[in-house]
Amino acid sequence: MVVISSSKTENKGAFRWIYVVLPISLFIAAAILTAVFYAMLPDEVAYRFSGGEPTHVAGRGGVIAWVIGLQFVFALIAFAITYIVTGASRRLEVEETELSRTLFTVMGNLMALPQIILLFAMLDIFLYNAYQIKLIPIWVFAVVVLALGGFALGYYFVRAIRQTRRQQTNSLRE
């Protein structure tokens, strides 16, 4: 016998896919990029450069396994951390607020920063080996991405602090 309850089930502290949408999207983008370039890559792929010239080569399969594997690991870490933290907040019966959802979203999607840099490095490797095109140095791209990520984090933390203060002020008035 199946009993259907009319009461609404609460999803306090529930895991939401929005918390890890960027890491998963970047993993999928890396897989698509690999599929597009795979046939154009030589058997020996240059992956390290000095002064725009290749200094190290490796087998095509090995390079692809590394870059796709690292993207998968970053996405998996983002998922695991977010899933564990949301599960802990649910078990500890922490009240879910807009602030906690924002923090979970920032926390889970933070793994996208190294993934973006890795995706750029992968694109640089693929373009060089397929068309002999070099992009800007990876360290320049990494500095820009990390600086933008720092600004974004600063924005969300200032917003979180303001929201917390506003909630404290409202609770003191009551």
Residue in the block written with tokens 């089930």: 9
Q: Is residue 49 part of a domain?
A: yes
Helix, strand or coil, per DSSP, at residue 9? coil
Q: Is residue 41 part of a domain?
A: yes
**From residue 139, how far is each of 42, 73, 132, 136 by CA, in Å?**
25, 22, 19, 8
Q: Is residue 23 part of a domain?
A: yes
Q: Is residue 123 part of a domain?
A: yes
Q: Is residue 36 part of a domain?
A: yes
Q: Is residue 4 part of a domain?
A: no
Distance CA 104, CA 106 (A): 6
For residue 117, the enclosing domain spans: 17-173
What is the count of structural domains for the chain?
1
Q: Is residue 9 part of a domain?
A: no
Q: Tens place of pLDDT for every residue, the chain, 174 residues?
A: 443 433 344 556 789 999 999 999 999 999 999 999 999 999 999 998 888 788 999 999 999 999 999 999 999 999 999 999 999 988 988 888 888 888 899 999 999 999 999 999 999 999 999 999 999 999 999 999 999 999 999 998 888 888 888 888 888 887
Q: Is residue 1 part of a domain?
A: no
- pTM value? 0.84
Supply φ then ψ for residue 10, to 5 degrees: -85, 145
